[in-house]
């Protein structure tokens, strides 16, 4: 066999190892000397083969360290996007656990109410009416902004808050999460910084990672944020925007006072910062309090939300309200990435439920039920030494501190063995400093066994 | 007024101009001398004011050219992502025109069939059944992969094509467009290159721009691509993937022969290229032909599609079938950006229609109807001197050349004045070289006035 044939043989052997995945992308190739001996050729033949494969881009040389399989055909995974936390307590922990476990699982950690707390009678009625809708509604794409009737209804609801908005300033989307995603597409480029509170909704972290943004955080206080820290972070990091829940902050339950909202707007204005107001929980408040958009209009505030928490998470629909020129750009982005607005079927069902007189009564009853349940659960947890950090004015979350010495991630891992999904503090914490906290969903804690399991598991930690 | 007060006054005047948008972001500020005269201050006061505003980041200096308004609070628009074409014929032209115009508009340019060609009876039946579904289906989030019953049904359909796929290798999404978007998120970073055919589905260009990818194209031939050009483009540009429709290519109607599919796979394999097979039109083919996934499996091929063209575009649902490890990464990305799979209501409706015995009959009748309509429309267009480039084996598109000297963008603009949306060739062309072509949707051309308007408009060009 000629020298050239020997080189080809070595090259082919490497290619086979790669295609059979005996050698994984990024993995180091055998040493020159070792592989020469294996293949029964001279080291210089292996050097020649490796060099040629490197020229082809199949492998690459790392100075002083040898040759490695190129990552070329490998996709980037979200793990490469940023420093991924321990998978067990990363931001996906709660979402994937709670989305994929069966209905028989106990889910004090999940982010929605039990199915039988939702206005299903109203939804069923809407579905029956839908079966008689015209062919266009059932089979055509949505218009680029989404159904006009729902946008008009929302504009009236904004008006009740004192916010003047043209229905064309509202863009319907597939969900609040997709709303955030579109806003990120509009505002972010890889490496940009975004300001959040610590703790914050865990999916803010996931979505910002997906956009390769750098997360900057300031501590969440019982009134929102410390204004000096807020301003200092803006000056120091020049974030592209600040995203938070002004009402019933997830996970802490903090609602901004009008004074706090005004102060945040003033500081943002001074430093020309965009504010993204994720409003998904606002409807759980007994009374509407003026929030960022209500005080500042749409000059620098983007309001977004959905109907998943109060109406149905199965009917996917969210919205963005923003400056007209930004809405135009967001429409292009949504057409490019989803082809049109959300399902006309979905928006019709939501419009139908929201226009139904029973919906307001359902929400009133639900607020009373949740207020009672928050008090009861808080008391039950207190008996286990789990203290409510702040009693929220609405919603279904309690942010609680655990007894001294109990780590919430340890507790969540142990609880999972007992078929219970919990939401440990650190999944909400960009700085990983919330190990003593746990978020509880009071609507998911009706089964008394929940407390027995919690007590048992804490005892055995 | 002190010097400091004068400086403040000038600064305030600039701020007002910016906030009232008298000065747009990126716009040049008035010259020092000119503004000093306007404000009745010394030039050095204006210099001081501009310098302070620059220190605040509100404006910035460009060497030797003066001061400009900072783009800081401005979002990036898709226009900045890449060189945007003339808005009238950019890739959004057709989508936004056809999505937002009324039902009374003539739409030979749109990408879907008339509502009364769709299986609405089957869908209405599915909706009536849905009103009796259990509370969980109506109100809960989807599991992360989307409904298991629909994925199992799809796996059986793949099996009929000879493709072995585990239902867990299938990820349900909001639409085929969202499937492409997730694949881009997985595989692309800004500046990466992607290979497409010229012409190609216009939204490939829009979505790739949204990901800041660079588009590389090779001419589409009547059999798919020229293999030498295909390989040469891969060698020269090292694209991250090639995306195309193997069946009934949009807009040309080309369907890959098994030999062509094999050849493309072989070349891709040689250069370790990922292939993305957008399969939205495959069901319109009278017979299944082996496509990329059927021949190559999921090693380097990603299959995606939706139910929008055959069943309903209002019920938003798409899918991705891919390697198990890629599916895991795609799930994370979809959770981060949409929170879970597509609407359980949507997937239930689709599963219900697909399992309904009437669906197969509907599709058979539809294929016959489309075959007849393609022939008729092609003959009608020929009378106007509009020649069908290739008679496709299925579907509702005809890719046609216009009479000598008629530019399709001019024709589309003129037709819009007559309430007719057309799809001019260049919206499909990354190289802007398809000005003589037009894509017609035969299912949208039942009204004879369509041809009268076309004839009139061509006459008057």
Q: Could you tell me which chain B residue has the CA closest to the CA of A272? A: B73
Work out the minimum CA distance from B192 to partner chain A, whole angstroms. 12
For A157-212, write each residue's pLDDT tens digit.
898 888 889 999 999 999 999 999 999 999 998 889 999 999 999 999 989 988 88
Return the residue in A98, A104, A215, A332 with the most chain B beta carbons within 10 A, the one to mutate for interface testing: A332
Contacts of A340 in chain B (CB under 8 A): 95, 99, 313
Distance, C-alpha A344 to centroid of its chain: 24
For an interface test with A, give the residue of B54, B250, B300, B337 to mutate (most A CBs within 10 A). Answer: B337
* CATH code of the domain made up of A87-111+360-459: 3.90.1150.10
Q: Which of A58, A128, A144 sits opposite B272 (nearest CB)?
A: A58
Residues of chain A neighbouring B443 (CB-CB closer than 8 A): none
Q: What is the CB-side half-sphere exposure of residue B140 using CA atoms within 13 A?
A: 22
Instruction: Determine, for residues A190 and B189 on separate chains, whether the beta-carbon distance falls below 8 Å.
Output: yes
Q: How confident is the model at residue B291 (pLDDT cuts 50, 70, 90)?
A: confident
E strands in A161-284: 170-173, 193-198, 214-221, 224-225, 241-244, 274-278
Cα-Cα-Cα-Cα dihedral of B150, B151, B152, B155, to 10°? 130
Residues B338, A181: C-beta atoms closer than 8 Å: yes
The structure tokens listed for A359 are: 């919906």
B388 sits in which H/E element: strand B387-388
How many angstroms away from the CA of A4 is the closest CA of chain B? Answer: 20
Asked if the Cβ–Cβ distance from B77 to A331 is below 8 Å, we say no
Write the residue in A77, A272, A342 that is nearest to B58 by C-beta.
A272
| CB spacing of A312 vs B338 below 8 angstroms | no
**Do A73 and B274 make contact, defined as CB atoms within 8 angstroms?**
yes
Please choose, from the candidates B112, B210, B83, the residue with its C-alpha nearest in 3D space to the C-alpha of residue B421. B112
Residue spans of beta strands (DSSP E) within B15-111? 59-62, 66-69
Given a cut of 50, whether residue A85 has pLDDT beyond it is no
Q: How far is CA A359 from CA A110, A143, A172, A351, in A?
A: 24, 26, 20, 11
Closest CA to A367 of A306, A430, A287: A287
Residues of A in contact with B332 (CB under 8 A): 77-78, 92, 96, 206
Nearest CB among B79, B136, B313 relative to A140 is that of: B313
Position A150 scores a pLDDT of 96
Whether residue A99 and residue B335 make contact (CB cut-off 8 A), yes or no, is yes
- Spatial neighbors of B269 by CB under 8 A, at least 6 apart, are B296, B300
Cis peptide before B190 (omega within 30 of 0): no
Q: Note the pLDDT of residue B65.
A: 78
| Confidence band of A436 (pLDDT split at 50, 70, 90) | very high
Identify the closest residue of chain A to B274 by CA–CA distance: A73
From the number of C-beta atoms within 10 Å of its C-beta (0-12, 13-18, 19+), residue B40 rates as exposed
8 A C-beta contact, residue A301 and residue A293: yes
Asked if B144's CB is within 8 angstroms of A103's CB, the reply is no
Chain-chain contact of A187 with B315 (C-beta, under 8 angstroms): no
pLDDT at B334: 92
Chain A neighbors of B135, CB-CB under 8 A: 115-116, 118, 120
Chain B residues with CB under 8 Å of A190 CB are 189-190
First to last CA, chain B: 65
B188 CA to chain A: closest CA distance, Å? 8
Among chain B residues, CA nearest to A302: B75
Between CA B32 and CA B39, with CA B34 as vertex, the angle to 5 degrees is 90
**CATH number for the domain whose boundaries are A3-69:** 1.10.10.10
Q: Give contacts of B96 with chain A, Cβ < 8 Å.
A: 144, 331-332, 335
Do residue A99 and residue B142 have CB atoms under 8 angstroms apart?
yes
- Structure confidence at residue B88 as a pLDDT band (50, 70, 90): very low
B238 CB neighbours in chain A (<8 A) are 57
Report the residue of A77, A186, A314 to disrupt the B interface, i.e. the one with the largest count of B CBs within 10 Å: A314
The domain locations on chain B are 3-69, 86-116+367-459, 118-358
Question: Which of B124, B138, B300 minimises the CB distance to A131?
Answer: B124
Contact residues on chain B for A238, CB-CB shorter than 8 A: 57
CATH number of this structure's domain A118-355: 3.40.640.10
Check if the beta carbon of residue B196 is closer than 8 Å to that of residue B215. Answer: yes
Q: How large is the average pLDDT for residues B2-31? A: 79
Say which CATH class B118-358 falls into.
Answer: alpha beta
Tell me what the mean pLDDT of segment A303-314 comes to.
Answer: 95
- Mean pLDDT lowest for which of A168-177, B80-89, B112-121, B162-171? B80-89
Minimum mean pLDDT range among A5-19, A248-262, B281-295? A5-19
Q: How far is B65 from chain A (nearest CA, A)?
A: 25
Mutation pick from B59, B100, B141, B325 vs chain A, by most beta carbons of A within 10 Å, is B141
Tokens of B241: 């993937």
- Give the pLDDT score at A325: 87
Mean pLDDT of chain A: 89
How far is it, in rounded angstroms, from Cα B113 to Cα B108? Answer: 10
Instruction: Say whether B185 and A336 touch across the interface (CB within 8 A).
Output: no
DSSP per residue, B156-196: HHHHHTT----GGGEEEES-HHHHHHHHHHHH--TT-EEEE
| Residue range B407-422: mean pLDDT, rounded | 91
Which tens digit of pLDDT belongs to each residue from B358-386? 888 999 999 999 999 999 999 999 999 99
Asked if the Cβ–Cβ distance from B314 to A141 is below 8 Å, we say: yes
Cβ proximity of A91 and A206 under 8 Å: yes
Q: A332: buried, middle or exposed (CB in 10 Å: 19+, 13-18, 0-12)?
A: buried
SS3 B33: helix
Q: Which one has a higher pLDDT value, A158 or A26?
A: A158
Q: With 90 as the cut, is the pLDDT of residue B217 above it? A: yes
Bridge partners (DSSP) listed for residue B398: B440
Give contacts of A143 with chain B, Cβ < 8 Å: 99-100
**What residue of A is the nearest CA neighbor of B316?**
A343
Contacts A87 to B, Cβ<8 Å: none
C-alpha A174/C-alpha A168 separation (Å) is 17
Q: Do B342 and A316 touch (CB under 8 A)?
A: yes
pLDDT, one tens digit per residue, over B236-273 is 999 999 999 999 999 999 999 999 999 999 999 999 99
Average pLDDT score over residue span A379-385: 98
Minimum-distance CB partner of B112 among A141, A189, A238 = A141
Residues of A in contact with B313 (CB under 8 A): 139-141, 340
Contacts of A174 in chain B (CB under 8 A): 174, 316, 338
- Give the model's pLDDT for residue B161: 84
Give me the pLDDT at residue B62, please. Answer: 78
Provide the pLDDT confidence category of residue B276 given band limits of 50, 70 and 90. Answer: very high
Mean pLDDT of chain B: 89
Instruction: Mark yes or no for CB contact B138/A123 under 8 Å.
Output: yes
Query: How does pLDDT run across A263-291, given as a tens digit for each residue?
Result: 999 999 999 999 999 999 999 998 877 78
Q: Which residues in chain B have Cβ-Cβ distances shorter than 8 Å to A77?
A: 186, 329, 332
Q: What six digits make up the tokens of B208?
A: 């790739």
pLDDT of res. A424: 93
Helix (H, G, I), strand (E, B) or coil at A388: strand
Give the nearest chain A residue to B126 (CA atoms). Answer: A131
Extended beta strands in A79-229, E state: 170-173, 193-198, 214-221, 224-225
List pLDDT tens digits, range A406-431: 999 999 989 988 889 999 999 999 99
Interface residue of A99, A115, A120, A311 to substitute, partner B, most B CBs within 10 Å: A99
B86-116+367-459: CATH, from 3.30.465.10, 3.90.1150.10, 3.40.50.170, 1.10.10.10: 3.90.1150.10
Confidence at A74, pLDDT banded by 50, 70, 90: very low
For residue A100, the chain B residues in CB contact (below 8 A) are 143-144
Q: What is the pLDDT confidence band of residue B80, given thresholds at 50, 70 and 90?
A: very low
């Amino acid at each position: 066999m000629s020298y050239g044939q020997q080189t080809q043989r070595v090259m082919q052997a490497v290619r086979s190892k790669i295609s059979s995945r005996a050698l994984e992308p990024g993995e180091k190739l055998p040493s020159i000397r070792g592989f020469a001996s294996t293949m029964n050729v001279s080291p210089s033949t292996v050097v020649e083969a490796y060099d040629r494969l490197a020229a082809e881009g199949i492998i690459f040389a790392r100075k002083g360290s040898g040759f490695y399989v190129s990552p070329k055909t490998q996709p980037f995974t979200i793990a490469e996007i940023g420093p991924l936390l321990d998978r067990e307590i990363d931001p996906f922990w709660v979402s994937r656990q709670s989305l994929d476990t069966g209905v028989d699982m106990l889910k004090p950690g999940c982010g929605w109410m039990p199915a039988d707390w939702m206005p299903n009678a109203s939804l069923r009625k809407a579905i029956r009416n839908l079966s008689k809708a015209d062919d266009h509604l059932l089979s055509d794409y949505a218009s680029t902004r989404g159904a006009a009737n729902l946008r008009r209804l929302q504009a009236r609801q904004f008006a009740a808050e004192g916010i003047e908005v043209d229905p064309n300033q509202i863009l319907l989307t597939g969900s609040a999460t997709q709303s955030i995603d579109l806003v990120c597409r509009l505002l972010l480029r890889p490496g940009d910084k975004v300001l959040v509170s610590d703790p914050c909704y865990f999916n803010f972290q996931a979505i910002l990672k997906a956009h390769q943004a750098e997360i900057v955080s300031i501590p969440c206080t019982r009134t929102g944020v410390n204004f000096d820290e807020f301003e200092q972070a803006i000056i120091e990091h020049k974030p592209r925007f600040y995203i938070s829940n002004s009402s019933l902050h997830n996970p802490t339950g903090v609602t901004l006072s009008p004074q706090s909202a005004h102060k945040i707007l003033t500081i943002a204005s001074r430093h020309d910062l965009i504010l993204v107001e994720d409003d998904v929980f606002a409807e759980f408040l007994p009374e509407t309090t003026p929030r960022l958009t209500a005080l500042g209009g749409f000059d620098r505030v983007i309001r977004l939300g959905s109907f998943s928490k109060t109406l149905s998470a199965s009917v996917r629909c969210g919205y963005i309200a923003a400056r007209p020129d930004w809405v135009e750009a967001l429409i292009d982005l949504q057409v490019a990435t989803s082809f049109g607005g959300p399902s006309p079927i979905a928006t019709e069902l939501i419009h139908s439920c929201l226009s139904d007189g029973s919906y307001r009564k359902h929400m009133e009853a639900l607020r009373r039920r949740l207020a009672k349940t928050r008090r009861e659960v808080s008391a039950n947890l207190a008996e286990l030494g789990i203290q409510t950090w702040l009693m929220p004015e609405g919603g279904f979350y309690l942010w609680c501190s655990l007894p001294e010495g109990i780590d919430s991630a340890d507790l969540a891992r142990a609880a999972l063995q007992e078929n219970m999904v919990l939401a440990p503090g650190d999944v909400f914490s960009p700085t990983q400093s919330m190990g003593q906290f746990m978020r509880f969903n009071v609507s998911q804690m009706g089964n008394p066994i929940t407390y027995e399991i919690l007590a048992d598991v804490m005892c055995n930690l």
